[in-house]
Amino acid sequence: MKRNRLVVASVASTITLAMALTACSSGSDAPADDESTSADGTPEPADITLWLAGPDTPDALRDYLTSTFEEENPGSTLTIEQQEWPDLVTSLTTALPDAENTPDVTEIGNTQSPTFTTVGAFRDLTPLYEELGGDALLPSFVEVGMAEGKNYSLPYYFGSRYMFYRKDIWTAAGLEAPTTLSEFSDAVKELHTDSQSGFAIGGQDWRNGISWVFANDGELAVEEDGKWTSTLSDANTIKGLEQWQDVFEGASNVPASAMDVAYWDFLNDGTDGEAPEAATIMAPNWARWSIGDLTTNDDGEEVRDGMVDDSKYDIFGLPGVDGGLAPVFAGGSNIGISAQSQHPELAENLLRIIFSEEYQTMLGENGLGPANSDYVSSLGDDKFAQTMIDTAAVSQLTPAAPGWAAVEGASLYEQLFQAIAEGGDVTEIAAEYDEKITPMLNNG
Amino acid sequence: MSATSTVASDPAADAPDRRREQPPRRRRRPRLPYALLVPAVAVILVAVGYPVYWQVVTSLQEFGLAQQFGAPPTFVGLDNYARLFMDPSLWAVVVRSLLFCLVNAGLTVGIGVALALLMNAVGRVPRLVLQVALLLAWAMPMVAAVTVFKWLFDWRSGVVNWLLVAIGLDQYQGYSWLAQPMTFFLVASLVVVWMSVPFVALSVFAALTQVSDEVLEAAAIDGAGPWQRFWGIILPMVRPVISIVLLLQIIWDLRVFAQIRILQDAGAPIDQTNLLGNYIYELGLGRQDFAGASAVSIFVLLLTVLLSWPYVRSLLKEDEA
C-alpha cells in the first residue's frame, strides 16, 4: 500500500508539473503548420502553394488553375489548400512571416487586407498592376489593398448581398417589393408572426446589419490625419443602428446571439409542406442555389431548383432611405503574394493566370464578380446578375484601418449588434463600443 | 528562464529532497534513478521550456502584429501585466473560470465516484455494459461530442427543445440555450462533465477493486452499516486516487478551451462566456496582442500551480508518512 502511494504521489507531481507548464502554451502554440508545402529547396521549377478561403472558389476553377499553371510552367506544380474563413487571419498571422511555411499566394478577405499590408506581409505588386488589369480592376478593392501608395493586394472577386423573399406570402398580404427602407421595415413587421419571421436576421449578424448604417450615410470609423476614430456615436450611425434594432425586434424570430445562420433554409417550405420560417432574408447572391422547390439533378440527387417559380420566390436589392438602393457590405476577397515567398516569379505567373480573360470569365460564369470590370458581363443578364451588379455598384467596405482585423478578431461587432438586438439603449451602447474600438483601430 | 519555471519545478525538486531526508540506514544514494529521469526532463525542457521562455520574454515586451512580421520588439517591463490587471474584464474572466473549474471538477468527481460504487456493487453483465458505455463516452473525440451537444440544444431543431415542448413547456419553442451566460454554462458543463466522468469512474473503480473484502466483512460483522463502511473504510483507502483525479480535473477544467469556443461559434454572448483559455486566444490571435496574451498565460500558469499546490503537498506528506 505504501509503495503504491509513493508511486501515485510521484506520478501526480510529475503530471502536475507537465500540466502546469503546458497550461500556458495553449495560447501561443501556433496551429501545426503543413509540412507538405515546403519547396525542397529546388531553385527554378518548384511547387508553389495557393491558399483559398472557404469553398467559395468552385472545384472547376481550382482544376483550371492547377492544370494551366503546370502547363505554362513546365516542371512546377501548384498546390491549392483551402483555409476556413474564421481561422484565416490566425493562419496567415502565423504562416506569412515564416519563409518555410508561407503560402506563396493567398486569398484574403478584402477587409482583412489592411492589417497585413501595413506590416509588410505582402510583396509589392505595383510593377504588375498595369499588366494585370490596371484601372479596370475594381477600384474600392484595389484601394483597400494599398499601403503607402503601393499595391500589395489586388481584387480577387466581389460578391454582393440582396434580399430574397417569398413573393407568394408578400402578395397574399397585399404587399409588393418595397422602394424605400421604411417601407421595407413596415412590410416585414406586418408579415411577422410567432412562427414566421417577416425578416429573418440574427442579432450578431453585423455584416448584414451595417447596411442600415450605410443607408443613413453613417460611418463606422473615419480617418483624420492618419488616425482612426470609431464613429458609432455619430448621429447618422445611431439613426441607422436604431432602425436596424427596430426591424430586428419587430420582424425577426432569430435569437439575438445568432450569426451566420443558414437563412436560405428559412425561405423553403418545410419537409412536410409547412409554411416557411421566414418571408424575407438577406444573403449573398449564391444563396439562390439553396432556395426553391425540390427537384432532381443529373446525378439523381435532390436539390433546390434555384428559384424557378418566380411567383413564389423573388429578389430585390435593399432599398435606400429615399428610394434607390441602400449600400450593402461588399463581400469579396483580395489576393496577394507573400513577402516571404521563395518563388515570387512563379507566384507572379499564377497571378497572370488568375487575371487572364479566361479565368475572369470563369469567375463570372460561376456567380463570382470578376475583379476586372471588363468581364463583368460574364455574370449574365438575368435579374440575379443585374441585382448583384447594381447592389455591388453602391456597396461599401468596412474601414481600411490597420487594426480592423483585430476588431473583427475580438468579435466586437458581434457583441455590439447583439447588445442592440437585445433592446439596449443604442446611444449608450455606441459610446461604450467607440471607447473600446478606437484604440484598437490604430494598432498595426 | 525565470521565477516562473522555478516555482513550477518546485514539486518535482521537492520529491527527491524529501526522500533524501528519509532514514539514512536505507542505502547509499543511487545514481540510476537520476539517469532514468534525464529523458523525461530533456523532453520537458525542449517541448515546454522554450515556449515558456519565449512567453516570459514576450510578456515583458511590446509585441503585436508588426513585431510578428519582423519589427524589433521593445522591452516594456511589467507594463503588459499592469495594463491587464487594471482591466476589470480580466478579473471577471478569472472568477468565471475558477467557478467553472471548481464546480465542474467537483461534479465530475462526485458523479464518477458514484458510478464507480455502482459498478462495484452490480453484477458482471450490468458492470460490463456500464464500462463499455463509459469507454465509448471517453473515446469520443471532443470536437464531435461538443458538436453533438450543440445540435441537441439547437434553438431551431434541437431535440431538447422539441422534448420540452412535447411535454407541454411551450416557452421552450425556439429557446436559445446559448444566448444567456447561465444556460450557456449549463450546456458547457454538461459536455465537460459527460466527457470526463468516465476517467474518474474507471480510475476509482480500479481503486475500489483493491479494497480487501476481508476488511469490509470484518467491519460488517462488527456492526458497521453501509455508510459507515463507505466513510470509514472505503473512502480512506481510495483517497489517494480520488485526490489525484480531483487534482487532474481541476487542472483540466481550468484549461477548457475548445468546448467553449465551439459553443460560442453557434452564437453566444462572447465577452460574457469567455474563460481564461478563450480570453488568451482572443487577446493573442484575435487582437494580435501577443504580449498581453503571454502575460495572461503566465498568470494562468501561476494560478494552476497555486490551485494544485495543496494537493501536491498533501500527497507528498502522505508519502513521507
Domain extents for chain A? 45-159+330-393, 161-328+410-441
Q: What is the CATH number of domain A45-159+330-393?
A: 3.40.190.10
Residues B244, A27: C-beta atoms closer than 8 Å: no
Residues B255, A119: C-beta atoms closer than 8 Å: no
Grid cell of B30 as nine digits: 543511487
User: Given this model, what pLDDT does residue A21 score?
Assistant: 41
Instruction: Sort out which chain A residues have CB atoms less than 8 A from B319's CB and list them.
Output: 5-6, 9-10
Q: Which residues contact B201 (CB under 8 A, 6 or more apart)?
A: B111, B112, B113, B115, B116, B119, B134
CA angle A433, A414, A189 (to 5 degrees): 105
How confident is the model over B16-30, as a mean pLDDT?
57
| Strand pairing class (A47-53; A77-83) | parallel
Q: With a CB-CB cutoff of 8 Å, which residues 12-51 of chain B face chain A? A: 12, 14-15, 40, 44, 48, 51
The amino acid that residue A90 corresponds to is T
Instruction: Sort out which chain A residues have CB atoms less than 8 A from B8's CB and list them.
Output: 17, 20-21
User: Given this model, what pLDDT does residue B9 score?
Assistant: 44
Q: With a CB-CB cutoff of 8 Å, which residues 214-273 of chain B face chain A? A: 240-241, 243-244, 247-248, 251-252, 254-255, 257, 265, 267-271
How confident is the model over A333-361, as a mean pLDDT?
94
User: Given this model, what pLDDT does residue B24 score?
Assistant: 52
Instruction: Sort out which chain B residues have CB atoms less than 8 A from A6's CB and list them.
Output: 319
Rounded Cα–Cα distance for residues A165 and A268 (Å): 10
How confident is the model over A276-294, as a mean pLDDT?
90
Out of B240, B280, B286, closest to residue A8 by CB: B240
| DSSP characters over A398-434 | ----TTHHHHHHTTHHHHHHHHHHTT--HHHHHHHHH
Residues A202, B244: C-beta atoms closer than 8 Å: no
Helix (H) or strand (E) holding A9: helix A2-23
Grid cell of B28 as nine digits: 547509499
User: Given this model, what pLDDT does residue A78 score?
Assistant: 94
Instruction: Sort out which chain A residues have CB atoms less than 8 A from B204's CB and list them.
Output: none
Architecture of domain A161-328+410-441: 3-Layer(aba) Sandwich (3.40)
No. of helices (H) and no. of strands (E), chain A: 17, 15
Torsion angle (degrees, nearest 10) of CA A214, A432, B284, B266? -70
Decide: A316 and A199 in contact? Cβ < 8 Å: no
Decide: A218 and A230 in contact? Cβ < 8 Å: no
What confidence tier does B21 reach under pLDDT thresholds 50, 70, 90? low
Residues A19, B40: C-beta atoms closer than 8 Å: no
User: Given this model, what pLDDT does residue A87 score?
Assistant: 84
Name the packing angle between helices B3-20 and A2-23 (round to 10°): 170
Domains plus CATH for chain B?
A: 89-320 (1.10.3720.10)
Is residue B13's pLDDT more than 80?
A: no
Does this chain's domain A45-159+330-393 share its CATH topology with A161-328+410-441? yes
No. of helices (H) and no. of strands (E), chain B: 17, 2
From the number of C-beta atoms within 10 Å of its C-beta (0-12, 13-18, 19+), residue B15 rates as: buried
Decide: A359 and A156 in contact? Cβ < 8 Å: no
Q: pTM to 2 decimals?
A: 0.80
Residues A17, B44: C-beta atoms closer than 8 Å: yes
**pLDDT, tens digit, for every residue of A7-25?**
444 444 444 444 444 433 3
How confident is the model over A42-53, as a mean pLDDT?
82
The percentage of residues in chain A with a pLDDT greater than 90, rounded to a whole number, is 58
User: Given this model, what pLDDT does residue A32 score?
Assistant: 36
Kindly state whether B287 is in contact with chain A, defined as any CB-CB distance less than 8 angstroms: yes
**pLDDT, tens digit, for every residue of A107-166?**
999 888 988 888 889 999 999 999 999 999 988 899 889 988 899 999 999 988 899 999
Residues A410, B282: C-beta atoms closer than 8 Å: yes
Torsion angle (degrees, nearest 10) of CA A9, A14, A15, A19? 140
Query: Which residue in chain A has the smallest CA separation from B8?
Result: A17
Query: Which residue in chain B has the smallest CA separation from A205?
Result: B267
What confidence tier does B321 reach under pLDDT thresholds 50, 70, 90? low
HEC sequence for B273-313: HCCHHHHHHHHHHHCCCHHHHHHHHHHHHHHHHHHHHHHHH
Q: pLDDT averaged over chain A? A: 86
Is residue A4's pLDDT more than 60?
A: no
A interface test, pick of B4, B58, B285, B294 with most A CB neighbours within 10 Å: B285
**pLDDT, tens digit, for every residue of B157-177?**
899 999 999 998 888 888 889
Query: Which residue in chain A has the smallest CA separation from B62?
Result: A443
User: Given this model, what pLDDT does residue A30 score?
Assistant: 37
Provide the 8-state DSSP code for A77: E
